[in-house]
Amino acid sequence: MEEKWYLENTGNLNQMLRVRDDIDIYQTMQDFPHLVLINHDYHAADDIMFPDPACIAFFTVFENNHLESLEEENKLALIAVDICEGLMQFYIYCKDPDATIYDSIEFLKSNDLYKCEFEVVLNDKGDRLDNLI
């Protein structure tokens, strides 16, 4: 099985930044110009400031089952996941931010323990991600 992600070295012990390795990120951003950030403030489970296992499990299912199926339908591309000091962020590039948000809400409302906020950056084309990496 081909690995789809690599860990970006951020220099912060309390941060884990996963970035896609199986696609041409900048070509994908041309196809999907708008950024939808899904932000979840989590309770840190330990001194290293990472989420508890139940939180990780919920968002892993969200990513693997929900977002992957939307990617297969060519609706969006999950480019990066940033977990840092109480904040988990999904960097999703898409053609239609409204549809991406509504599709995500359908899954995310299944567990009210993990409330999320959405941020939309129209025509981002990778600017926000470039500042992160």
pLDDT, tens digit only, all 133 positions of the chain: 357 888 888 888 888 999 998 888 888 888 999 999 999 988 765 666 788 888 888 899 999 989 999 999 999 999 999 998 888 999 999 999 999 999 999 888 888 888 899 999 998 877 787 777 7
- Does residue 89 sit within a domain? yes
Q: What angle do CA 39, 41, 46 make, to 5 degrees?
A: 135
- Does residue 70 sit within a domain? yes
Q: What pLDDT score was predicted for residue 1?
A: 38
* Per-residue model confidence as pLDDT tens digits over 18-35: 999 888 888 888 899 999
- Does residue 84 sit within a domain? yes
- Does residue 26 sit within a domain? yes
CATH of the domain at 111: 3.30.70
Whole-structure pTM value: 0.90
User: Domain tally for the chain?
Assistant: 1
- Does residue 11 sit within a domain? no
Question: How far apart are alpha carbons 12 and 53 in whole angstroms?
Answer: 21
CA distances from 95 to 38, 77, 129 (A): 16, 10, 17
Residue 20 CB partners (closer than 8 Å, separation 6+):
4, 5, 77, 78, 79, 80
CA distances from 115 to 4, 14, 65, 102, 126 (A): 27, 22, 18, 14, 26
Query: How buried is 91 (Cβ within 10 angstroms: 0-12 exposed, 13-18 middle, 19+ buried)?
Result: buried
Residue 87's domain comprises 16-132
- Does residue 2 sit within a domain? no
Q: What pLDDT score was predicted for residue 82?
A: 94
Residue 35 pairs in a beta bridge with 93, 121
- Does residue 91 sit within a domain? yes
